Amino acid sequence: MNYIIVDLEATCWNEKHHTRKSEIIEIGAICVNEKKEILGEFQIFVKPNLHVELSDFCKQLTSITQEMVDNAPTFPVALEQFQTWIYSFGKDYVLGSWGFYDKGQFEKDCLLHQLDTNWLKNHINIKFQHAIIRNLPKGIGMKQAIEHEKLVLDGTHHRGIDDARNIAKIFIKLFEKWDYSLDSSTKND
């Protein structure tokens, strides 16, 4: 069994009640095996389809530039590359992300491009389980969790690959405590 720790960045805006649909602009992932070894990393930028111009807020938050996404593949191509990378380690995997946002955003982008979502079915919400393991009243942000676990935040927060690396640190530290049978799909972030 391999564990694919994934973090996404997506188009975003500063206005709270906008009606625009977010799209993935970066996929970052780390593959961890049953021995707690990191087998590899994956990072790709993605060219958005609906709102091709990144907002100033999005560029500031993520440090992703317009040029990075302009020169990137579209979501179907990026997803195919991501899935090829996942399957290069074997077909038996569990996706893990900090909350349900990432799984939900993958589902939305797959539906937008009429792509299959079955590859998302084996997923755990690391944020939700971290709150249970650490007896916290609710899930905390990944940056707070890194501090709570007395780990060092590496890289740039809100960059997919860097956040995936940091989530993987938490995942590896608490490796024996994760519940893969827990259907947390009905729980909140």
| Residue 59: how many other CB atoms lie within 10 Å | 16
Active-site positions read 9, 158
State the Cα–Cα distance between residues 23 and 109, nearest whole angstrom: 6
35-47 CB burial, b ≥16 within 10 A, e <16 = eeeeeeebbbbbb
182 in Cβ contact with 124 (< 8 Å): yes
